[in-house]
Structure 1
Amino acid sequence: MLKEKIEKYLLSVQKPARYIGGEAGSIHKDKSKVDVRFAFCFPDCYDIGMSHLGMKILYSLINERENYWCERVFAPWPDFEQVMRQQHIPLYGLESLEPIRDFDFIGFTLQYELSYTNILNMLELAEVPVYAKNRGTDMAPMVVAGGPCACNPEPLADFFDLFILGEGEEVNLELMDLYHRMRREGATRQAFLREAAKLEGIYVPSLYDVTYNPDGTIRAVTPKDGAPATVKKRIIRDFDQVYYPENFVVPFTEIVHDRVSVEVLRGCIRGCRFCQAGFLYRPFREKSEETVYRECRALCEHTGYDEVSLSSLSTSDHSRLDPMLRKLLTYTEAERINLSLPSLRIDNFSQDLLNQIKRVRKSGLTFAPEAGTQRMRDVINKNISEEEVMKTCRIAFEGGYDTVKLYFMMGLPTETDEDIAGIAELAQKVVDLYYQIAGKGRGKNLQVSISTATFIPKPFTPFEFEPQATHAQIEHKQQVLRDAIRSKKIRAALHQSDASLLEAVLARGDRRVGQVLYRAWKKGCTFDSWDEYFDFTRWQEAFDEAGLDPAFYANRTRPYDEVFPWDHLDYYVSKDFFVRENQRAHQSLTTPNCRQKCAGCGVNLKAGGACFAEDPYSV
């Protein structure tokens, strides 16, 4: 049996608990009573994948159906992959320890572009044809994907049978129901895909032909066989009533985020022009404090975790944050449970909020000004002032904190050397502020950390038209920043730019980039998001062999009227809005957040109602 074969080699690899299953909370079923089996694949190692909230939700949701069975699958670390290849162990589900090639669905979550080679590797390990065209006429296994990177699935189009756009809590079950019915009817793979394309939120790339202009840009994306011209994402309209599990799988081994996580809101009101998630997850929806309390309590009691994190893009934008925290703290303090509050905003940070945080977290505080000068913050529509940054730091320092971490980007549109130097100047002002408050002799433990990442233009943002800074430009900017730092109390962490270039290519690439992806994987590229495995030389060779220039995808300005690879996919925010916001960026004009004034992004029209109604928990 496969189980004995797996167990035989576990002690020869790192963290064998990654590969054996059987954890508390995992769900096991009688295979003879199961009609549809779904392998939920996370294209990274167990430690990362088990921290992912989306997997926890959909795993429990699918398993609520008695005749459906969802199992977890993760990318094996290179040491265990070697064992699998040598001993002919196919990729398997952790619950049954059976090969996923025999499942009905093999589903991947697309969280990060640099995990794409792992997807191809996992398909090969599963003994499933990597290219969709080679999978024959049988319905199983159907290779599907969803997640944020599905907003531009074109670089992966040749490898997947279909993509799930938007939020999956409803459409996943609809897709499985359709599959269950059509399999009983003896349908072919192609017939199922044509029917699946009729479901809102389902994109079948084989039902679309792409043609190109002589300059390499896209001429047209043309549907066929009855496929819709535009595929709309799915959204959950009543977020306060959406399914949420009462139990999580509790791993045997330590993972990255080893705690309960409860989503308190979805979407974002801010409209930062670089932030893809802020637009992909619109409209903005909240859970009531009663719902958040009930879900936190149920998960803590079922899992035994002593830490709970409130998950969102901007937790402090919840309209009832204060009563929600008070209600939660009554429970968490009594039960000695730590409450974590990530995603705090500078412009609504207050003394009252700090007092709440100090009751649950004593470590340093992290904020994201994103840019060092006011002009640059206006360009990106961050809508925070230097005064607000300093006010927030003052509250923190007066509250006893001496560690502050500030996140920035470099390579933003219209950015100058003065803007880069402004990062160091802002950090220096924070250092000076601390000494003003604490006095000269009390800064022994003071630490102001600045972390910079290379700006990556992403689809469905106002900056989707913008070029990414070149490698040489980023190196220059990094040196400008180093030269501008004057205090030993300021520590700078600078992001490596080769991986950022590849991320930009995969984020905005078309179907031809799939050739590069396949060639890079064949050259041995996997775990590209891990510094110790990332090898840009192999990727450069793959681009050369495919006859494609990464600069075409990453480093050129795109005109407003260009047909983008994702223009036939509808995420509810209009392209006209992105054009207007891009123009405002180049004029250094800000746009108010959604609670202050509607900017006309188009979401409310397509979602079927106002984004903010008298009832804050309805769309």
Structure 2
Amino acid sequence: MMKPEQIEIKLDRILLKVQKPGRYVGGELNITVKDWETARTKVALVFPDIYDIGVSNVGLKILYDQINQREDALAERAYAPWVDMEALMREHGIPLYTLESKQPLACFDLIGFTLPYETLYTNTLNILDLAGIPVRSSERDESHPIIIAGGHAATNPEPMHAFIDAFVIGEGEEVIHDVVNAIQKFKSAPNYKRDELLVALAQISGVYVPKFYETTYLEDGTVANTLPTIPEAPKLVNKRIVAKLLPPPVKFIVPNVEVIHNRVSVEIMRGCTRGCRFCQAGMITRPVRERSVQEVVDAADAAVRSTGFEELALMSLSSSDYTYINELVDAISKRFEGRKLSVNLPSLRIESVSVDLMDKLKQHRTGGFTLAPEAASERMRRIINKFIPDEEILNTTRDIYSRGWTTIKLYFMIGHPSETLEDVQAIVDLCRRVIDEGRKVAGWKVKLHAGVSTFVPKPQTPFQWVACDTRENILEKQALLKRQLLKDKSIKLSWTKPEDSLLEAWLSRGDRRMSEVIYTAWKNGAKFDAWDEAKKQEAWLPAFEEHGLDPAFYTHRQRRTDEVFPWEHITAAVRKNFLFQDFRQSLEGQIRVDCRLNCFACGILPTFANLRRENPGEGWKCPDVKSPVSKVNIELPVMGD
């Protein structure tokens, strides 16, 4: 195994030959460097994309902070090298290493990948290979690190089951300590057996070890079931949550190079009660838990002082729904009065209160304002359960322009279930009306950026039964938008390539057979699938063909009402019957009110009843059931339901 000093000597020879060598040197302000020899357990945390994106990831920061608080463990970081650096590393025999100590990844006890989105899968394989670690879990032995992964993409872990030893389902702050403790117990034994450790990991709440499960299929290619093969593995792996949000990290790493989000991020609450049917994050992060105003303000102040960052983001899925949002904005304004700091409140609802909130932060506000109607016709907004009347959108955007903002960004999606060209035309019409209203109050300087992505039905959501839109339909809808919106110099339009959306759909909705497709695509050169500059779209279709799989099976096929999904044995604690009932209501254009107003018995409360009893208080924002919930006529055969 190459030693750190040997790696540093080789790096000196190649770093001036690559873009942004600062990505690969470490030594940033606020990193944690612990003694390698005395740390009992060594953990490498990996974001499988370039440093510029990964260094800002909040989940990785939380785990880095949690592990390094332990006296008996250390955590270090690694990221995917860009293609120029990777080529030189392979040429000079440099294994992938961590930035803190330059230790090769293969020297660590545990490697943890965060997978917030599916297009990181081929990068994950590439990183393992670059580190000199067998890509397939079945080929690793006692000399290799344990490979775990978590993040939103782990909601359906099956496409990556062949490469990851264990998946963390749900939130990682507490379960990471359980995993480290298990590794310490087993790896210190004189006759350490890897399989014995994996069995122990499978018994930790929220941990899924795919080796101990087997999937069978029906004649039509759909899943019959996925069942454990050992008694120690649970039939249903339930997500892990923290009952009370732990204190947020405040010693943020200050990057060596310019990155995507060079800012302090403080999570003000976790979870969402809005119930948007397309939103996987809103479904899988329930229940809502909030931090106190004092904790948020103190953490923000400490983080700004320790980093010198000039931007603060108050993070959540729906910032306007934070119970004490007005008090928080007032407290932030007071604490940072007179200091050069821009404050960002992402994910605001479309209503005047959002504008009022940002107006209170006038001294600290940024240049633009972002809103997400998601759909432009009221019919579509009912289907997706994000109903906002057109007049409310127009009133809000008019307020924004009248208060000095010159640019508004509106997020839309095309490809929603039952969408027609008339619904797409509504995006054009709404954008034009927004610009017209803006010009009435602020003149011709107003601008609008319409970001239009393509909807992908995700696991664990009410829309997991629907098919993806076809490539032909997507192109037709995008052509309509381009033809009409690009005429106006005040409107900027951005969109997602159909191929990118279909790749995301294959990976997010796949079963275990997709792992061979991923492996073959990677061998064909696929990596950086989220990057236009590096991805190889042509690597994927031959991979499907080689393994006898039809891509349309995963994308353009409407699921049966009683179909067993590949992720059936993984649960985010939201019942399948609830999701199906919500799907049925979407077909009828019925909306559900905010869960804070009425509980619809999604399954969260009974699953975490004990945690809630043990941790009472204002943090939880999930009401008791106040009214009976109607039942759908069909009872779905769901494991554990």
Query: 2: CA distance between counterparts of 1:558 and 1:317?
Result: 34
Contact 1:425 1:484 in 2 (8 A): no
- The CA deviation at 1:454 is 0.6
Query: 1: CA distance between counterparts of 2:617 and 2:110?
Result: 39
Contact 2:413 2:454 in 1 (8 A): yes
Alignment correspondent of 2:631: none
Query: 2: CA distance between counterparts of 1:328 and 1:110?
Result: 32
Alignment correspondent of 1:84: 89
Structure 1 residues 139 and 563: alpha-carbon distance in aligned structure 2, compared to 1, 3 A threshold: farther
Query: 2: CA distance between counterparts of 1:28 and 1:401?
Result: 44
Alignment correspondent of 1:57: 62
Q: Could you tell me which of 26, 35, 49 is aligned with 1:30?
A: 35
Structure 1 residues 182 and 362: alpha-carbon distance in aligned structure 2, compared to 1, 3 A threshold: closer
Alignment correspondent of 2:196: 191
Q: Does 1:565 align with 2:566?
A: yes
Moved more, 185-194 or 487-496: 487-496
- The CA deviation at 1:300 is 1.2
Query: 2: CA distance between counterparts of 1:426 and 1:610?
Result: 45
Residues 431-468 of structure 1: CA distance to partner in whole angstroms, max 9, x if unpaired?
A: 22123334xxx31x221221110110100110011100
- The CA deviation at 1:91 is 0.7
Partner SS, residue 516 of structure 2: helix
- The CA deviation at 1:551 is 0.7
Contact 1:592 1:599 in 2 (8 A): no
Q: Does 1:202 align with 2:207?
A: yes
Contact 2:424 2:481 in 1 (8 A): yes
Alignment correspondent of 1:393: 397
- The CA deviation at 1:139 is 6.3
Query: 1: CA distance between counterparts of 2:344 and 2:351?
Result: 19
Residues 480-524 of structure 1: CA distance to partner in whole angstroms, max 9, x if unpaired?
A: 333444744333222211010010010010010011101110011
Residues 292-327 of structure 1: CA distance to partner in whole angstroms, max 9, x if unpaired?
A: 011111111222222211111111111111111111
Structure 1 residues 139 and 288: alpha-carbon distance in aligned structure 2, compared to 1, 3 A threshold: farther
- The CA deviation at 1:224 is 1.6
Alignment correspondent of 1:480: 480
Letter in 1 for 2:287: P
Residues 24-55 of structure 1: CA distance to partner in whole angstroms, max 9, x if unpaired?
A: 11111212211110110110000000010111
Query: 1: CA distance between counterparts of 2:434 and 2:458?
Result: 31
Alignment correspondent of 1:364: 368
Q: Does 1:229 align with 2:235?
A: yes
Letter in 2 for 1:480: L
Q: Does 1:319 align with 2:323?
A: yes
Alignment correspondent of 1:21: 26
Alignment correspondent of 2:456: 456
Residues 193-212 of structure 1: CA distance to partner in whole angstroms, max 9, x if unpaired?
A: 11111110100000001111
Q: Does 1:374 align with 2:375?
A: no
Alignment correspondent of 2:542: 541
Query: What pairs up with 1:469-618 in 2 under 5 angstroms?
Result: 469-485=469-485, 487-608=488-609, 615-618=617-620
Contact 2:128 2:134 in 1 (8 A): yes
| Percent identity between the two aligned chains | 42
Query: What pairs up with 1:276-315 in 2 under 5 angstroms?
Result: 276-315=280-319
Moved more, 489-498 or 52-61: 489-498
Partner SS, residue 600 of structure 2: coil
Query: 1: CA distance between counterparts of 2:258 and 2:480?
Result: 39
Q: Does 1:72 align with 2:73?
A: no
TM-score normalised to structure 2 length:
0.93
- The CA deviation at 1:170 is 0.3
TM-score normalised to structure 1 length:
0.96
Letter in 1 for 2:156: N
Structure 1 residues 153 and 325: alpha-carbon distance in aligned structure 2, compared to 1, 3 A threshold: same
Residues 157-178 of structure 1: CA distance to partner in whole angstroms, max 9, x if unpaired?
A: 0001110110000000111011
- The CA deviation at 1:474 is 0.4
- The CA deviation at 1:336 is 2.4
Q: Does 1:402 align with 2:406?
A: yes
Letter in 2 for 1:4: I
Letter in 1 for 2:236: T
Query: 1: CA distance between counterparts of 2:345 and 2:511?
Result: 38
Query: 1: CA distance between counterparts of 2:195 and 2:37?
Result: 27
Alignment correspondent of 2:421: 417
Query: 2: CA distance between counterparts of 1:490 and 1:253?
Result: 32
Alignment correspondent of 1:252: 256
Alignment correspondent of 2:217: 212
Moved more, 375-384 or 531-540: 531-540
Query: 2: CA distance between counterparts of 1:363 and 1:243?
Result: 30
Partner SS, residue 464 of structure 2: coil
Structure 1 residues 304 and 448: alpha-carbon distance in aligned structure 2, compared to 1, 3 A threshold: closer
Query: 2: CA distance between counterparts of 1:510 and 1:165?
Result: 17
Query: 2: CA distance between counterparts of 1:614 and 1:177?
Result: 28
Structure 1 residues 518 and 362: alpha-carbon distance in aligned structure 2, compared to 1, 3 A threshold: closer
Structure 1 residues 547 and 42: alpha-carbon distance in aligned structure 2, compared to 1, 3 A threshold: same
Alignment correspondent of 2:626: none
Query: 2: CA distance between counterparts of 1:447 and 1:151?
Result: 38
Residues 262-308 of structure 1: CA distance to partner in whole angstroms, max 9, x if unpaired?
A: 00010011110000000111101111100101111111122222221
Partner SS, residue 463 of structure 1: helix
Alignment correspondent of 1:4: 9
Letter in 1 for 2:160: L
Contact 1:121 1:526 in 2 (8 A): yes
Letter in 1 for 2:303: L
Query: 2: CA distance between counterparts of 1:611 and 1:376?
Result: 36
Query: 1: CA distance between counterparts of 2:77 and 2:276?
Result: 34
Contact 1:283 1:611 in 2 (8 A): no
Query: 2: CA distance between counterparts of 1:497 and 1:112?
Result: 17
Query: 1: CA distance between counterparts of 2:290 and 2:503?
Result: 35
Letter in 1 for 2:331: K
Structure 1 residues 392 and 502: alpha-carbon distance in aligned structure 2, compared to 1, 3 A threshold: same
Residues 553-610 of structure 1: CA distance to partner in whole angstroms, max 9, x if unpaired?
A: 0111101211101110111101011101100111011000112211221111112179
Moved more, 306-315 or 418-427: 306-315
Contact 2:288 2:620 in 1 (8 A): no
Contact 1:165 1:234 in 2 (8 A): yes
Alignment correspondent of 1:126: 131
Partner SS, residue 334 of structure 1: coil
Letter in 2 for 1:386: D
Contact 2:320 2:354 in 1 (8 A): no
Partner SS, residue 381 of structure 1: coil
Query: 2: CA distance between counterparts of 1:432 and 1:336?
Result: 34
Q: Could you tell me which of 212, 215, 238 is aligned with 2:244?
A: 238
Measured on the aligned residues, the alpha-carbon RMSD in Å equals 1.7
Alignment correspondent of 1:352: 356
Structure 1 residues 20 and 605: alpha-carbon distance in aligned structure 2, compared to 1, 3 A threshold: same
Q: Could you tell me which of 91, 95, 99 is aligned with 1:94?
A: 99
Letter in 2 for 1:281: T
Letter in 2 for 1:385: P
Contact 2:329 2:357 in 1 (8 A): no
Residues 305-364 of structure 1: CA distance to partner in whole angstroms, max 9, x if unpaired?
A: 222111111111111111111111112223322222211110363553242242222412
Contact 2:235 2:569 in 1 (8 A): yes
Partner SS, residue 168 of structure 1: coil
Letter in 2 for 1:264: I
Query: 1: CA distance between counterparts of 2:143 and 2:463?
Result: 40
Partner SS, residue 462 of structure 2: coil
Contact 1:354 1:399 in 2 (8 A): no
Query: 1: CA distance between counterparts of 2:571 and 2:527?
Result: 31
Query: 1: CA distance between counterparts of 2:421 and 2:117?
Result: 30
